[in-house]
Chain A
């Protein structure tokens, strides 16, 4: 082939390619042309295709799309064709073809070139893309149209707000700015400044222009809101915007509640109104964000229940806003009240909610009720006092306690003769209508009562009223009771209690609970089947098998007052709910002897609170005695049996309160245990509750933190003591407490005691202990000895003493030494032990033979025994009874016992009584003790010195004047007498005169002491006379003079008389 031919071939090829490309471009151009209709476009393409083919003159294209066909007018099919399918998303929607009218030489594919194949495929593809795009465009268009509609919807809302509630629009705009800001939209940052001039220019912040920032006029703000939503429209979907607007509008409707609650100035009536409004709005869709709802709850708790953070923390988990709506309808408050309901009410409300919510998990908690209750807010007392011009009584607490005591009856009188403000009377009247004629109890619920650790148990009054008769009588009776409870705020007991605990300056207010008394009518009486108190922690364990967490129930038939208060002549039934099988009273004798014998009731006829014998009620009521079969058992000669349905003679048969039926046949004990467990868990501290049962339902009456006695705080046991420094340690059945500064130990040697065989000798030991109890310094000595002290049974079990023979000891220690093959079990169960607990005498069992136990027997047996000096006639028992004068033996040190129940540890160690005492526990105790007792013993000492100084020794034949006992030892309390020892060397007449002279002193001092302390003593002076002969023979109290231990202290006599003589 020649060169020219080659060039021509190349040029022809290139021409062909150019034709093809031109064709393709043309097709593309047509497909993208927006101005053409679809028909025009495809007609154009038909025209554009043919020029792209090698034999364009005989080329006839055709495009079929679905049911449409495009071609030239003179189109005819032939047998020489090339086709390509048109696909949209893999679906064939048509076909592109070209036909040659006449035959042409064969090429790659028939007469067609391979490049032409590519071309037709490309065209088909282009057309496919075109249709795909068209399809998408439809979807997009639909979407866009919808978006446009949406935008207009929120626009309409905004437009409407602008016209109807521009302030709301501004608030919503503000929220939108925040929302945009939190969503991280930069543009929003610029918008913040519209709402706060401060943001306008940071420099301005630091300028002190002394002129107020400019407020932005509202109309401007409306303009700004448009700006804000323009930004929002850019970045947020319409739906997002609309949803937010909806939400914020709903939330805005609860704003009134927020305003009222957050404003510390808003009064209870405003809060009450707001809660009510909230309640009515709620069903119409009042939406609260979780934080906002929580905030409301907390605010309500703080304003109405308590502002103690610890309390709020718990309450907020259980009390909802809706609960307050129900509650507030039963709250009576003075105009403009800012009061709360007080501790008792708050505790009860929250506890009830806790039980309700926990019932889902613990079916035992289901259907535990609280009695119907109305509340009078804590500031009711202030309004009452203002109403009656009694404000000056508020100063009462800063008066001398003696004066407070003296004036208290007057305060009661005045309060009971004062009137209530009309709105309170109206409220009380409403309450009475709600209650109907049922007995009520008016209980105190003071602000101080809800503070953890200050139990105020029984410090303020609770009064029962029968609530029978005409409405007028009932309301008068109710108001009388309320004013008496109010007056008790100014009683000497609570004021002294507050002084001791540093709570005097705390602003105390007294709320009131008016509660329906749980019970049933039995003849003329009204009382619950049974009632009592329960503690989640058992501090009263009578068996070594009981654990603290087994809890304790003290219950009685009738009103719970007999279970709450300690009674000298009657006993509540004690049950440890964790182990109800372990009873305090086991033998028949014990069960009968220590069962409740009386019930407290409300006498509906006389309207008074009465105590009556159970036997008497039974004789009258017989089978109508509430829950008879649960409360009582039948006592036959030597047997206790369940009561029976028939065949009992209530006039003749003996019954005994055992609660056996209740314990064995009902889930009551498990219920109480569950209540205690749940409440302790949720409050996260030990609780005590009061409850009552009317035979049908169990009612919770009160719940508070378990009160500890002052002295029973756990001691901090120093870890740095070596065993040599300890006298003994204990690790079983430890309670909490600190017994500091023990000066004397009475140790009955277990070994020697067990060797005594003679009954009289054993008895003598008990008597000797009783005598030591009288002469050793009160509450500064401890008793230690084998086995069970004061056992009613076998004297060999332990030293035979009665309670009055040990009542001055600060601690009783029972030593259980291994005897042959077993260690005797110490009894916690005796009522003797319970007496100790009640008298606050600490009890500790020691097991010297246990491992890791310190018991310094050498100290007890080796120390000098002063028994012979104290009781010369008992000297022969010196090897059995050892009396150790601790400071004399140890060079001035004292014994301190520290007990910590949580650590299960008790130690006794010797340490000086000094400020540098290493144990914090002791220091704390000392301060408290000295603070409390200081006044009493100092006053007594001053009196004694005064009497001695005024006494004319020659007139009465007095040669010596001594004090001893608690005044000398600086341990005297408010109920202590002054022990005087007077050495006489005169005639009988002189002695008689002296007695009369001292009698006068004694009586007037008793009166003074009563005003100071509230303790009534017949005679404050306890005078003992001794003669020369007594001193010589060392009989009776003469041993105190110059005694080896705890000797009486001489006082100078007649000093003031002499002065007079000098003149």
Chain B
């Protein structure tokens, strides 16, 4: 039976082709960038707790490392396909390029479901994965990171195995480590702060003072909370946040027209950012339907929760006052919704750029690890500001000079940077 299942790699290639057309890239460059530079496919034998052996299938794809060592996560996913990993590695190449950090793009994974594996089996899997690729990854080659269903613990197992094989300490081999064991300070702030740095720059361009703006935020997790923190420091006023109610399995929006107070909401939230509805009411918040965060009369919308939140169905509900939508989350706007928003007089700071704070901070972690010297938080956040600001400026300039929207501009500029690097190295 012929299968026509959705193939993310084909989609990624189509997107690339579109940008390549705009850039009028030559065939050789296209050929180089349409497919990964290197792919490693391997088996990982694992001795299971009950003594039996099981073979897992693992991958590491290095899409492009013209601008620096490949960088990207390691995913544990039961429905992993090689094309998904290819698409994601290509995405990482563009992402590091748009953030203008000297890294390339990679991705890896193992076909497995950790729900069916014990902790020690997962450890064996991590170590097995490293044993298979140790010679092809490393601080100067390819730097793995946590991803779907992997976390700091997995990273430490992988690092330990790598250092055992290499006979030395190489904290720069991997990122996503806990602070104190090669991790960087400022990581939890990085994405949210980064998002608001791009908002600040956008407002500068619009010549609007941050203090005169109001915003509505979707979500109250790490990204949203630190976005709010920085935005309020910059003088902005957040009047609405939405959050997921774990008990009722639905979301609510919480509104306070004279501005929400971060500390008081922090005191009534759980670790996931779920806000206790009744307590919020007691504190004078209006409790609205989950999707109403989007409909507020504000200047700035920050979707900082899940993907596919602004859709064909609700894009029209975005208030005409909105000037900026900053995508703190990954892929919060569907392509259909994008088309509707395109017609409105507003600017979208694409996820690509708006949440680049995360990958920049990973880069900082690697840099600090390589020199085995770790910065204070202020230093990390200061450097983040510089990076984000210049990344925003580059995309924005490119958009203006080429009459592109920000999303297209971000995408095209990143491909342009990679293509130039390949060219300058004499590959194409």
Contacts and interface: CB of A to CB of B under 8 A. Distances in A.
Nearest to A543: B116
A635 B271 contact: yes
B118 A760 contact: no
B287 to A, nearest CB: 17
Contacts of A787: 79
Given A654-B271, A819-B3, A639 B308 contact: no
B118 A640 contact: no
B5 interface: yes
B415 to A, nearest CB: 22
Contacts of A231: none
Interface string A572-587: 0000000111111011
Contacts of A827: 78, 113, 115
10 contacts: A569-B246, A580-B118, A593-B272, A637-B179, A638-B146, A640-B153, A760-B336, A796-B79, A797-B79, A824-B78
Contacts of B116: 543-545, 582, 825, 829
A586 B78 contact: no
Given A593-B246, A797-B79, A757 B6 contact: yes
Contacts of B5: 754-755, 819
A759 B178 contact: no
A579 B247 contact: no
B79 A824 contact: yes
A820 B11 CA distance: 19
Interface of A is mostly: loop
B178 A755 contact: no
A105 interface: no
A579 B111 contact: no
Nearest to A663: B119
Given A755-B4, A760-B336, A787-B79, A579 B178 contact: no
B407 interface: no
Nearest to A542: B115
Contacts of B146: 638
B311 interface: yes
A587 B114 contact: yes
B188 interface: yes
A637 B118 CA distance: 22
B247 A638 contact: no
Interface string B129-150: 0000000000000000010110
Given A787-B79, A819-B5, A592 B311 contact: no
Given A793-B148, A797-B79, A804-B249, 6 more contacts: A581-B121, A639-B152, A755-B4, A756-B6, A760-B336, A825-B113
Contact of B178 (A569, A586, A637): A637
B115 A638 contact: no
A568 B248 CA distance: 9
B111 A592 contact: no
Interface string A442-469: 0000000000000000000000000000
B118 A582 contact: yes
A78 to B, nearest CB: 104
A592 B246 CA distance: 12
A544 B112 CA distance: 13
Contacts of B246: 569, 593
A760 B3 contact: no
A803 interface: yes
A950 interface: no
A829 B115 contact: yes
Contacts of A544: 116
Contact of B49 (A581, A751, A763): A581
A759 B334 contact: yes
Given A592-B272, A820-B3, A757 B11 contact: yes
A796 B5 CA distance: 10
Interface in B1-33: 1, 3-6, 11
Interface in B64-87: 77-79, 81
B117 A582 contact: yes
A759 B308 contact: yes
A802 interface: yes
Interface of B: 1, 3-6, 11, 49-50, 57, 77-79, 81, 111, 113-121, 146, 148-149, 151-153, 176, 178-179, 187-188, 246-247, 249, 270-272, 308, 311-312, 334, 336
B79 A639 contact: no
A639 B176 CA distance: 10
A989 interface: no
Given A639-B178, A751-B1, A760 B312 contact: yes
Interface string A759-794: 110010000000000000000000000010000011
Contacts of A568: 247
Interface string A512-527: 0000000000000000
Nearest to A581: B118
A575 to B, nearest CB: 12
B152 A638 contact: yes
A250 to B, nearest CB: 57
Interface size class of chain A, counting residues whose CB lies under 8 Å from the partner chain: 35 or more
Contact of A543 (B57, B115, B178, B188): B115
A569 B114 contact: no
A635 B11 CA distance: 39
A639 B49 contact: no
Contact of B6 (A579, A581, A638, A755): A755
Contacts of A755: 3-6
A822 interface: yes
Contacts of B247: 568-569
Contact of A637 (B50, B79, B187, B312): B187
Contacts of A640: 153
A989 B149 CA distance: 59
Contacts of A543: 115-116
A757 B10 CA distance: 11
B179 to A, nearest CB: 7
Interface in A631-649: 635-640
A796 B111 CA distance: 15
B115 A754 contact: no
A592 B152 contact: no
B249 A803 contact: yes
Given A638-B176, A756-B6, A588 B151 contact: yes
A579 B115 contact: no
Contacts of B50: 579
A822 B149 CA distance: 20
B32 to A, nearest CB: 26
A269 B78 CA distance: 67
B61 to A, nearest CB: 17
Contact of A754 (B3, B49, B118, B188): B3
A583 B111 CA distance: 19
B120 A592 contact: no
Most buried by A among B78, B148, B270, B334: B78
B311 to A, nearest CB: 6
Given A654-B271, A793-B148, A803-B249, A763 B308 contact: yes
A592 B151 CA distance: 13
Contacts of B148: 793
B396 to A, nearest CB: 28
Contacts of A597: 270
A763 B78 CA distance: 21
A820 B7 CA distance: 13
B271 A592 contact: yes
Contacts of B249: 802-804
A579 B312 contact: no
Contacts of A545: 116
B250 to A, nearest CB: 8
B115 A796 contact: no
A717 B170 CA distance: 61
A797 B5 CA distance: 12
Contacts of B270: 597
A586 B149 contact: yes
A803 B250 CA distance: 11
A638 B308 contact: no
Nearest to B247: A569
A763 B336 CA distance: 14
